[in-house]
């Protein structure tokens, strides 16, 4: 296990104006995107009071509505064959909320009105933060402001944006089952509000698993496959996983700011010209159809599959 002491933590207050500390903070952000694919942000503009309310209501909802269901599932899983049954399962209890293009939070059962209201407010704050971060990435990459957010918008002019709310309860057999198996994220930029008491999230760096340290009131940010493609590999998505813990119930609220389903994704011309076009062009919905079948496998064959389609299309045009 590699130490987490050097995990990048960025104070966004230093990035807000034109102070003398801003260049160093921008360099740290650039290095985090190039060499880690993960970082934490502080002073991000989301109030600690709102975050505390989200945490309290999320943990209360799990205890009241989901805990018993999960305990019944977990007991059956461990009884039905141990390692073989657990090999392709994750030790998590989750539900999903869609915010854009069409919200569905009103349709999710078992959420009280106050929880819905708080989650909608939190999602709005995260959407703003995601777009702010994408503009900072544009600045570091030499792209015009707004390039990345525009790249994510399809025919309706909005991205796909949703939240996965997860609990990772104590696991009596972490040797048999992962909290969440290793994978890269398919989408754009992911903003995570995680438990500050119970750890377990790890990323793969230089062949070693590194703990993502729980830090109170921080937002953990990681880059998805689509940003790797658009940046032509300058910034990369990174394998990560959740290790099941024997003690504590870890909260995880991950919000995914992704391209619209019909958005066409391809390397930014300014970055492709500088380094050669190493990545394919595709429609995001098509990528997701492939991803859901191969989420827990290497990402490179997914990219190669679309490059192969491109080559075949080029050959057909050439011989027509």
String of b and e for 94-121 (b: at least 16 CB within 10 Å)? ebebbbbeeeebeeeeebeeebbebbee
pLDDT at 309: 83
End-to-end CA distance of the chain: give it in Å, rounded. 55
pLDDT at 147: 98
d(CA 49, CA 47): 5
CA angle 57, 221, 227 (to 5 degrees): 130
d(CA 49, CA 55): 10
pLDDT at 276: 62
pLDDT at 277: 64
d(CA 60, CA 24): 41
pLDDT at 85: 56
Residue ranges covered by each domain of the chain: 9-319
pLDDT at 173: 85
Cα 85 to chain centroid, rounded = 27
Mean pLDDT by 10 residues, the chain (320 residues): 74 90 96 98 98 97 94 79 66 96 94 96 98 98 98 96 96 88 97 95 97 96 98 97 94 98 96 78 97 94 88 54
d(CA 91, CA 242): 9
d(CA 190, CA 174): 26
Q: What is the pTM of this model?
A: 0.93
- Find the length of the chain: 320
β-pairing, 282-283 vs 264-265, is antiparallel
pLDDT at 298: 93
CA angle 271, 277, 280 (to 5 degrees): 110
Q: What CATH number should be reported for the domain whose range is 9-319?
A: 2.60.120.330
């Amino acid at each position: 296990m590699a130490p987490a002491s050097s995990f990048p933590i960025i104070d966004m207050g230093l990035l807000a104006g034109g102070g003398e500390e801003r260049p160093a903070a921008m360099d740290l952000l650039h290095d985090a995107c190039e060499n880690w694919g993960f970082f934490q942000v502080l002073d991000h503009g989301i109030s600690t009071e709102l975050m505390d309310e989200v945490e309290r209501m999320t943990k209360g909802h799990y205890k009241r509505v989901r805990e018993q269901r999960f305990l019944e599932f977990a007991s059956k899983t461990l009884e039905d064959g141990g390692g073989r049954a657990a090999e392709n399962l994750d030790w998590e209890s989750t539900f999903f909320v869609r915010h854009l293009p069409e919200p569905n939070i009103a349709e999710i059962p078992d959420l009280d009105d106050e929880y819905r209201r708080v989650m909608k407010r939190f999602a709005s704050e995260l959407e703003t933060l995601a777009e702010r971060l994408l503009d900072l990435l544009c600045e570091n990459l030499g792209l015009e402001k707004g390039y990345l957010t525009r790249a994510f918008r399809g025919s309706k002019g909005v991205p796909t944006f949703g939240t996965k709310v997860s609990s990772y309860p104590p696991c009596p057999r972490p040797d048999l089952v992962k909290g969440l198996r290793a994978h890269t994220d398919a989408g754009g930029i992911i903003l995570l509000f995680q438990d500050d008491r119970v750890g377990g999230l790890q990323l793969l760096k230089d062949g070693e698993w590194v703990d993502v340290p729980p830090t109170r009131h921080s937002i953990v940010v990681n880059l998805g496959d689509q940003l790797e493609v658009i940046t032509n590999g300058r910034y990369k998505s990174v394998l990560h996983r959740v290790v099941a813990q024997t003690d504590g119930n870890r909260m995880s609220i991950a919000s995914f700011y992704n391209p619209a389903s019909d958005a066409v994704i391809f390397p930014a011309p300014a970055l492709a010209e500088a380094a050669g076009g190493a990545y394919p062009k595709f429609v995001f919905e098509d990528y997701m159809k492939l991803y859901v079948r191969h989420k827990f496998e290497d990402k490179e064959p997914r990219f190669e599959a679309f490059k192969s389609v491109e080559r075949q299309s080029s050959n057909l045009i050439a011989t027509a």
